[in-house]
């Protein structure tokens, strides 16, 4: 007769059963889900901070560079932080500054469609933390944020690929040379915040897929969404990446620790009773609420992104104003460049423009088409198979759509800093490579670590070199000219830095050389004319301006220069002819409208001048010259009325 219960079994049988090994298929791996996430995450963060500080310690004393000057040093929003500035930065453009009294002023830059409140908020907080508006204070914050972005990438990759691969992913981000431009140029913080926001959201979303959506995770995901969107326009790639990761969330988890957790997971009712919410509706809220707030703030501040023809033929974006079909070969060529900078970022340049606009017959265009096509096909195939490597491909593809000039031409043709947010793609791809089983074979393992060591050494050397080049705008521009001595655009860029440093003789020499390289350029002759006008030789400027206008009859800035020169010489007829023509080309230009008001006043048409300035001030209340001119004309009219009314 069989035994009715285990307690009725003879002692020797119980002993024998307990001594038997557990069946292999029921044995759980030793690692838990928390160990897969990262066993000592704070220790990894500390190591990344130390590495980042070591790499960029010699950059702390570098000055503010390029756009750091207007955005930080000359911005009362940052230099004189106030409550009014904090409240209004959510509805102002990136190129607007807020005075202590709450008044908003344009900085005078052409690109007025940028909206980056989180970046400005971080600079505002930086100034509030003490230390004054010193470059090292802001650059130190960039170094720490860079380390945090690398750490967050590791936390995210750990949930897909395990601990060792995640550490390699973090190392790839913190060591990559493209970080030099986003750290040395403090305004590069926008790109660092985008990477931090994207990786923070994806890590939170992945944790919620494995452990459930709690309100705490929902709040964290919403915060990271706000950071990514509000830091820079490229943060919008969070939306397709979030959707793709949500799709991949049901994929079979390959790591044994995560498999064991999934296999042993309690039923949904038990999870809910334990305080974990499994439903994905909260994930939608975490994205939708910050997205709506961002859309509202952007519509109030700048409206929709736009693209217009760039007036500069040597330093402007040559893609602006081109048709979609003309932009396709350009985008294909840029795809090669951006992939190349991820794999081998040398040389690092500040000013990158092509010697000619890419066309279909260029080899780089054909290679770019093949590369993008292969990535799209591979990404789609991996997504259908629910392989997480699809996320790495999608991250690069969607980031490239933002900066690749295909969907909408952006102001910058190509820059190193634009590659930085793409590091998440490289990190996840590297994590998958490290995780593959064939990598663990001893021979390949040794060679792999040798390659990684060489890459790290190269990164350190490049960063050290770039930090020294970043000692000034002049040294950065000189480095560009050394790498591209035949680029007239690089020379023009160098001229601007020479002028800012008071090195006029060298600036003139560089300008003359640029005219020899690009004699058909309108910009080079205008720049040479403006140089002589600024240094007290207007008689030499006129002929150069006329040569610039002959090269490009639609150059508004040249017409404006000739018109104002004629006004200074009291040649009102010539001035009116040039300025009227400039108004036809650029009807919204405030300088053209102001100088036409000067022409009206010179001809005795004071009422017409007042009306013109009233229209200008209504359109551009921040244009100081227009406000001052209108006040002066109205005051003169009142004085004339008093004189006529006196006995």
Tell me the H-state helices in 82-214.
Answer: 83-88, 117-128, 135-161, 163-175, 179-184, 189-211
Q: Give the residue among 580, 581, 612 at the shortest CA–CA distance from 597.
A: 612
Asked whether the predicted pLDDT for residue 273 surpasses 50, the reply is no
Q: How confident is the model at residue 266 (pLDDT cuts 50, 70, 90)?
A: very low
**CA distances to 449, 450, 451, 452 from 446, in Å:** 5, 6, 9, 10
Q: Could you tell me the pLDDT band of residue 279, with boundaries at 50, 70 and 90?
A: low
Q: Is pLDDT of 49 > 70?
A: yes
DSSP annotation of 586:
-
Nearest-5° Cα angle at 292, 287 to 294: 95
pLDDT of residue 253: 42
Per-residue model confidence (pLDDT) at position 598: 92
Q: Which of 99-113, 169-183, 436-450, 543-557 has the lowest mean pLDDT?
A: 436-450
pLDDT at 615: 92
Tell me what the mean pLDDT of segment 123-150 comes to: 92
pLDDT surpasses 70 at 262: no
Q: pLDDT tens across 1-46, in order?
A: 444 444 444 434 333 334 434 444 434 333 333 334 566 788 999 9
Quick one: pLDDT band at residue 250, thresholds 50, 70, 90?
A: low
Task: Dump pLDDT digits (tens) for 550-571.
Answer: 999 988 999 999 999 999 999 9
**Position with higher pLDDT, 312 vs 394:** 394
Any idea which residue has 């992913």 for tokens? 169
Candidates 29, 45, 260, 41; CA nearest to 158 is 41
Which is more confidently placed, 512 or 252?
A: 512
* pLDDT confidence band for 284 (50 / 70 / 90): very high
Q: Cα separation of 145 and 461, whole Å?
A: 22
At residue 147 the predicted structure's pLDDT band, cuts being 50, 70 and 90, is very high
Listed in sequence order, the DSSP H helices in 38-116 are 41-56, 68, 76-79, 83-88
- The yes-or-no verdict on residue 637 having pLDDT over 60 is yes
pTM above 0.75, yes or no: yes
Phi-psi region of 97 (alpha: psi -120 to 50; beta: other; left: phi over 0): beta
* Cβ-based neighbours of 120, under 8 Å, separated by 6 or more: 77, 78, 89, 94
Q: Between the CA of residue 25 and those of 22, 29, 108, what are the distances in Å? A: 8, 11, 70
Among 122-136, 138-152, 384-398, which stretch is predicted with the lowest mean pLDDT? Answer: 122-136
Of 593, 647, 599, the C-alpha closest to 625 is 593
- Tally the residues of the chain: 647
What is the pLDDT averaged over residues 211-224?
Answer: 94
pLDDT in tens, 346-363: 889 988 998 889 999 999
CA distances from 322 to 73, 113, 249, 358 (A): 35, 19, 40, 12
Task: Please give the helix or strand (H or E) that residue 518 lies within, else none.
Answer: none
Q: Give Cβ neighbours of residue 189 (< 8 Å, ≥ 6 apart).
A: 119, 122, 123, 138, 141, 142, 145, 182, 231
- pLDDT value, residue 239: 97
Output the pLDDT for position 18: 40
Residue showing tokens 């409140």: 117
Question: Cβ contacts of residue 350 below 8 Å, gap of 6+?
Answer: 66, 181, 415, 416, 476, 477, 479, 480, 493
Stretch 159-171: mean pLDDT: 88
Burial 623-645 (b: 16+ CB within 10 A, else e): beebeebbeebeeeeeeeeeeee
Of residues 154 and 38, the one with the higher pLDDT is 154
Which residue do the tokens 């000189």 mark? 478
Whether the Cβ atoms of residue 550 and residue 556 lie closer than 8 Å to each other: no
Contact 206, 250 (CB under 8 A): no
DSSP 8-state assignment for residue 62 = -
For residue 218, the surrounding DSSP H or E stretch is: helix 215-231
- 73 against 458, higher pLDDT: 73
The closest alpha carbon to 206, from 171, 257, 253, belongs to 253
Q: pLDDT of 187-200, one tens digit each?
A: 999 999 999 999 99
Q: Provide the CA 272 distance to its chain's centre, in angstroms.
A: 40
Long-range contacts from 576-581, C-beta under 8 angstroms, 24+ separation: none
Residue-wise pLDDT tens digits, 389-438 = 999 999 999 999 999 999 888 888 999 999 999 999 999 999 888 877 55
Average pLDDT, the chain: 85
Our measurement of the distance from residue 323's CA atom to the centroid of its chain's CA atoms, rounded to an integer in Å, reads 24
CA atoms within 13 A on the CB side of 576: 11
Quick check: 238 pLDDT over 90?
yes
Say if residue 572's pLDDT is above 50: yes
Q: Rounded to 5 degrees, what angle do the CA atoms 396, 197, 307 make?
A: 60
Query: Measured over all CA atoms, what is the biggest interatomic distance in the chain, rounded to whole angstroms?
Result: 136
Q: Give the Å distances, CA to CA, from 503 to 59, 498, 509.
A: 24, 5, 10
**How far is it, in rounded angstroms, from Cα 607 to Cα 279?**
67
Tell me the average pLDDT across 335-339: 95
Confidence (pLDDT) at 408? 86
Once rounded to an integer, what is the mean pLDDT over residues 326-344? 94
Q: Is 347 helix (H, G, I), strand (E, B) or coil?
A: coil
What the block records as the tokens of 318 is: 């040559």
Q: What is the pLDDT of residues 526-555, one digit of tens each?
A: 999 999 999 988 889 999 999 999 999 988
CA gap 191, 171 in Å, rounded: 18
């Amino acid at each position: 007769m069989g035994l009715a219960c285990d307690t009725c079994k003879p002692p020797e049988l119980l002993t024998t059963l307990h001594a038997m090994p557990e069946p292999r298929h029921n044995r759980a791996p030793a690692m838990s889900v928390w160990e897969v996430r990262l066993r000592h995450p704070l220790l990894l963060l500390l190591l990344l901070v130390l590495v980042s500080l070591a790499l960029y310690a010699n950059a702390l004393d570098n000055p503010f560079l390029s756009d750091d000057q207007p955005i930080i040093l000359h911005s009362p929003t940052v230099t004189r932080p106030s409550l009014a500035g904090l409240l209004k930065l959510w509805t102002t453009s990136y190129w607007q500054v807020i005075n202590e009294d709450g008044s908003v002023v344009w900085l005078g830059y052409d690109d007025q469609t940028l909206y980056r409140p989180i970046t400005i908020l971080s600079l505002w907080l930086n100034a509030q933390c003490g230390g004054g508006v010193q470059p090292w204070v802001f650059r130190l914050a960039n170094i720490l944020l860079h380390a945090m972005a690398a750490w967050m990438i590791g936390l995210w990759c750990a949930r897909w690929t395990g601990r060792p691969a995640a550490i390699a992913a973090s190392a790839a981000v913190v060591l990559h040379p493209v970080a030099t431009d986003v750290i040395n140029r403090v305004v590069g913080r926008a790109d660092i915040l985008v990477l931090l926001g994207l990786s923070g959201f994806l890590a939170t979303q992945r944790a919620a897929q494995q452990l459930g959506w709690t309100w705490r995770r929902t709040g964290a995901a919403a915060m990271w969404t706000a950071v990514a969107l509000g830091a820079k326009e490229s943060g919008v790639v969070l939306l397709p990446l979030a959707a793709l990761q949500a799709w991949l969330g049901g994929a079979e988890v390959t790591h044994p620790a995560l498999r064991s957790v999934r296999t042993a997971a309690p039923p949904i009712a038990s999870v809910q009773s334990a305080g974990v919410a499994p439903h994905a509706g909260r994930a939608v809220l975490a994205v939708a609420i910050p997205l709506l707030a961002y859309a509202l703030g952007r519509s109030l501040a700048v409206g929709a992104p736009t693209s217009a023809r760039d007036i500069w033929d040597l330093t402007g974006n040559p893609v602006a104003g081109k048709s979609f079909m003309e932009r396709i070969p350009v985008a294909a060529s840029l795809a090669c460049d951006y992939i190349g900078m991820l794999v081998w970022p040398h040389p690092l340049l500040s000013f990158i423009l092509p010697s000619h606009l890419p066309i279909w017959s260029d080899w780089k265009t054909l290679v770019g088409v093949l590369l993008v096509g292969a990535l799209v096909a591979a990404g789609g195939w991996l997504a259908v198979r629910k392989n997480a490597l699809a996320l790495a491909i999608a991250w690069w593809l969607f980031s490239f759509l933002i900066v690749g000039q295909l969907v909408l031409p952006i102001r910058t043709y190509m820059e190193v800093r634009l590659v930085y947010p793409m590091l998440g793609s490289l990190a996840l791809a590297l994590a998958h490579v490290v995780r593959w089983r064939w990598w663990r074979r001893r021979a390949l393992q040794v060679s792999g670590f040798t390659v990684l060591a060489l890459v790290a050494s190269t990164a350190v050397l490049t960063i050290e070199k770039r930090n020294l080049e970043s000692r000034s705008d002049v040294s950065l521009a000189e480095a560009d000219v050394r790498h591209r001595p035949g680029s007239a655009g690089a020379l023009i860029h160098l001229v601007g830095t020479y002028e800012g440093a008071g090195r006029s003789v060298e600036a003139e020499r560089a300008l003359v050389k640029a005219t020899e390289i690009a004699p058909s350029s309108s910009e080079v002759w205008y720049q040479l004319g403006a140089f002589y006008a600024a240094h007290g030789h207007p008689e030499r400027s006129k002929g150069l301006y006329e040569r610039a206008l002959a090269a490009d009859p639609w150059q508004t800035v040249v017409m404006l220069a000739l018109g104002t020169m004629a006004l200074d010489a009291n040649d009102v007829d010539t001035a009116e002819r040039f300025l009227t023509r400039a108004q036809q080309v650029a009807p919204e230009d405030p300088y053209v409208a102001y100088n036409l008001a000067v022409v009206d006043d010179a001809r005795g048409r004071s009422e017409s001048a007042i009306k013109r300035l009233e229209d200008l001030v209504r359109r551009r209340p921040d244009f100081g010259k227009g406000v001052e001119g209108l006040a002066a004309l109205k005051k003169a009219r009142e004085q004339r009325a008093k004189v006529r009314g006196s006995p």
